[in-house]
Structure 1
Amino acid sequence: MRLQDLFIDETMTIKEALKKLDETAKKILIVTEYNKLKAVITDGDIRRWILRSGDLSKTVSLIMNKKPVFLTIGNEHLAEKLMKEKFIESIPVVNKNKEVVNVIFWNEKFKDRLNYFNKIQNPVVIMAGGKGTRLYPFTKIFPKPLIPIGEIPIVERIMNRFREYGCDDFYLTVNYKKNMIRAYFNELKKDYKINYVEEERPLGTGGSLHLLKGKINNTFFVSNCDILIDGNYSDMLRFHKENKNKITMITSLKHYAIPYGVIKLNEDETIKNIVEKPEYDFLVNTGMYILDPETIEDVPENDFYHITDLINYYIKKGEKVGAYPVSDKSWLDMGQFKEMENMIERLGLK
């Protein structure tokens, strides 16, 4: 990727900037004028705009940071200290004319993940008990969590992402082909702990949480076993705590274009108007959540129950349920064959 691929003009729409962020996968765009640093836009700036229900057709001038942190040539050695202080994952480097000559990226320069906390010590619950019927016939032989993405099973990839931020306490809810899952991890040399939570029968995406009563006493993550989220889990936890949410749902922005003219009718069944090839943007549920520990008390005992039922319960009670958006490209789903192939390709394993 060329440095200039990150340069944009302030007249670009936010939707176009979001697409470019996905294409470059660097989480930053640099607003320039004749190659001179004018502002920056990060995925966090767009996230805050989405949470305010902002119009994605507006220009980036509304959300860009006009006072960005930057370094001058010769001061690159200050990058680590400055990035930790400001909690930023990239920093532009400029010459004496303020022309951008380089960008330092945390994940390329330093080995560990940029973490709001010294270590995320929060438990991670992975829902690994389903039959994975959408992936038949694979799941007639393997349980869905052990289906390999490249050479590594999906559930192990999920755990590895969390381990990058310090998580080492995992709970796997198991039912279908549970002995195969146990056998796989028993053979691994690992420096993390796996606790198995056995369902006697399928309990949905949330029912097995009741089995964790008395075992988890801290804010915890929950993830389906067929997704990968490319995001800063430390920032997600910070967001959850700062907003004092009961539950935070990790969401993804999905764009849909209808390839037809959409008809709107009057009450007398005559045509009111035709909207030609409309486009829509939605926040959708990725299957990853952050929950406060007391939520376990509100999950019914031994009932088939989805985690979305728990979310709706809290919404009706007036409790705070938040959404943390990530981009479409940051959410990898292998729930169906096509999505599984996309995951393999986007992870660079094909």
Structure 2
Amino acid sequence: MKIEDFLIDENKSLLEAMSQLENAARKVLFVTKKGQFVAALTDGDVRRWILKKGSLDAKVKELANYKPKYLNESEKDKAKEYLKQNFIEGVPIVDEDHNIISIIIWNDEKVEKKNILNIPVVIMAGGLGTRLYPYTKILPKPLIPVGEIPIVEHIINRFVKNGCSEFYLILNYKKNMIKAYFNDLDKVYQLNYIDETKLLGTGGGLSLLKGKITSTFILSNCDILIDEDYQKILNFHKKQGNFITMICSMKRIRIPYGVVEISETGEIEVMKEKPEISVFVNTGMYVVDGRVVVEIQEDREMGFPDIIEKYRNQGEKIGIFPISENSWLDMGQLDELEIMRKRLEKDE
């Protein structure tokens, strides 16, 4: 990557920074003011800003670190040791005028250390997939191909790359087709089939895991892909002391109408033509305390949001881990399925 790929002006928006961080090799940007290096911005800085309910319309200068770490050109040989000592992903090398002349990024050895996420993964794969009709009249949603392989295999493969080896598929609709597909594969992971006898919803199906899971686990829908460091998500969950952490994605929505705001006297105060709003939406992936499985009522249909609301009312800490819009791929609708297919083809 070029140096320019890591640079962002302090007057750029938070949304632009999130998008650029997606492309940065190690989730760090270096902030400039009139072309000169003045600050640093990491994905952690963005996450902390969001969790403190900072405005999504903020400028980079409102959340950047204006006491950044850097090395002078004469210290370049010490860069790798400097990164290690300071637990940072990258450091700029500056000349005497404080201009960045190069950037040292931690090498791939650090990437390998991420592969320690050895916790169970539960995938809700029993739904009817009505939003993807007529595809799902023939195939169950988990087996709808995205490129060369089914969506659920993409999901499992990403977790395997992050160190997971224990998987539970909660099945119902066309379950024998799903079993037949996976039974024919040479797998490097353990795959357990959990059969629903009736539709129990995205939450109720967890009751079928009693006696199988008691510790923290990851729950995922079978139609999403999350491009994020899963170990970072788990570390965040533990550090925050969350009972449940919901992975939420930024979503920009353009309203296809002119929007009018009125004053208390009924007069037009503001007119906006097809404005765009930014919100956080539930991706359908969670980190979940094992108590949920132990305590859940059996044989009762419920959604996982119902479970979240129950524990929130009991005072348990329910948090979110924010990710950018580009980090979430959802094939729940036909138009989104085509977007996911093109994105995966490009990445591969």
Q: State if a TM-score over 0.5 links the two structures.
A: yes
SS in 2 for 1:12: coil
Q: Find the counterpart in structure 2 of residue 110 from structure 1.
A: 108
Give the number of equivalent residue pairs: 346
Note the residue ranges of structure 1 that are not aligned, 5 or more in a row. none
SS in 2 for 1:57: coil
Aligned identity (percent) is 48
Q: What's the offset of the Cα at 1:87?
A: 4.9
Q: Find the counterpart in structure 2 of residue 346 from structure 1.
A: 343
Counterpart amino acid of 1:260?
Y
Q: Find the counterpart in structure 2 of residue 330 from structure 1.
A: 327
1:180 aligns with 2:168: no
Which whole-Å CA distance do the structure 2 matches of 1:131 and 1:323 have between them?
A: 28
Which whole-Å CA distance do the structure 2 matches of 1:189 and 1:81 have between them?
A: 42
Deviations 1:139-186 (A, max 9, x none): 122211111111121111111111122111111111111111111111
Q: Find the counterpart in structure 2 of residue 3 from structure 1.
A: 3
**Segment drifting more, 145-154 vs 284-293:** 145-154
Q: Per the alignment, do residues 39 and 314 of structure 1 end up closer, same or farther by CA in structure 2, a change over 3 Å counting?
A: same
Answer yes or no: is the 8 Å Cα contact 2:214–2:294 preserved in 1: no
Q: Find the counterpart in structure 2 of residue 39 from structure 1.
A: 39
Counterpart amino acid of 1:110?
D
SS in 2 for 1:172: strand
For 1:122, which of 116, 119, 123 is the aligned residue? Answer: 119
Which whole-Å CA distance do the structure 1 matches of 2:136 and 2:200 have between them?
A: 19
Which whole-Å CA distance do the structure 2 matches of 1:260 and 1:89 have between them?
A: 43
Q: Per the alignment, do residues 143 and 83 of structure 1 end up closer, same or farther by CA in structure 2, a change over 3 Å counting?
A: farther
SS in 1 for 2:116: coil
Q: What's the offset of the Cα at 1:299?
A: 2.3
Q: Find the counterpart in structure 2 of residue 169 from structure 1.
A: 166
Which whole-Å CA distance do the structure 2 matches of 1:74 and 1:154 have between them?
A: 50
1:191 aligns with 2:194: no
Counterpart amino acid of 2:174?
K
Q: What does 1:223-234 align with in structure 2 at a 5 Å threshold?
A: 223-234=220-231
Q: What does 1:1-350 align with in structure 2 at a 5 Å threshold?
A: 2-22=2-22, 27-33=27-33, 36-70=36-70, 86-94=86-94, 98-105=98-105, 109-110=107-108, 113=111, 115=113, 119-264=116-261, 270-271=266-267, 273-277=269-273, 278-349=275-346
**Segment drifting more, 89-98 vs 156-165:** 89-98
Q: What's the offset of the Cα at 1:346?
A: 2.0
Counterpart amino acid of 1:113?
V
Which whole-Å CA distance do the structure 2 matches of 1:156 and 1:295 have between them?
A: 26
Answer yes or no: is the 8 Å Cα contact 2:125–2:222 preserved in 1: yes
Which whole-Å CA distance do the structure 2 matches of 1:104 and 1:188 have between them?
A: 41
Answer yes or no: is the 8 Å Cα contact 2:207–2:298 preserved in 1: yes
Deviations 1:284-335 (A, max 9, x none): 1000001000011332211111100001111222211001100011010001
Q: What's the offset of the Cα at 1:72?
A: 6.1
Structure 1 length as normaliser, TM-score? 0.88
Q: What's the offset of the Cα at 1:91?
A: 4.2
Q: Per the alignment, do residues 105 and 300 of structure 1 end up closer, same or farther by CA in structure 2, a change over 3 Å counting?
A: farther
Which whole-Å CA distance do the structure 1 matches of 2:151 and 2:128 have between them?
A: 15
Answer yes or no: is the 8 Å Cα contact 1:47–1:325 preserved in 2: yes
Which whole-Å CA distance do the structure 2 matches of 1:197 and 1:77 have between them?
A: 55
